[in-house]
């Protein structure tokens, strides 16, 4: 199951370097490509806003 980024995203960039497969894209609110996401959770662990969680 891929992870998703909610509207709580502050676009701080902390998660970008943590993604081992480069699934995160920059923007006003960052996004995760579900086809690339390896479901490792590394991004969620470092998000200071708690804006990243597993997709439902």
Domain total in the chain: 1
Q: What pLDDT was estimated at residue 38?
A: 96
Q: pLDDT tens across 2-12, in order?
A: 999 999 999 99
Q: What is the CATH number of the domain that holds 36?
A: 3.30.70.20
pLDDT of residue 56: 84
pTM reported for the whole predicted model = 0.91
Range of the domain at 30: 1-56
13-37 pLDDT, tens per residue?
999 999 999 999 999 999 999 999 9
Question: 1 pLDDT band (50/70/90 cuts)?
Answer: confident
Measure the CA–CA gap between 7 and 44, rounded to whole angstroms: 14
């Amino acid at each position: 199951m891929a992870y998703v980024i909610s509207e709580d995203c502050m676009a701080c960039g902390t998660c970008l370097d943590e993604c081992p497969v480069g699934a995160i894209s920059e923007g006003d609110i960052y996004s995760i490509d579900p086809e690339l996401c390896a479901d490792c959770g590394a991004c969620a662990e470092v998000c200071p806003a708690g804006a990243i969680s597993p997709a439902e």
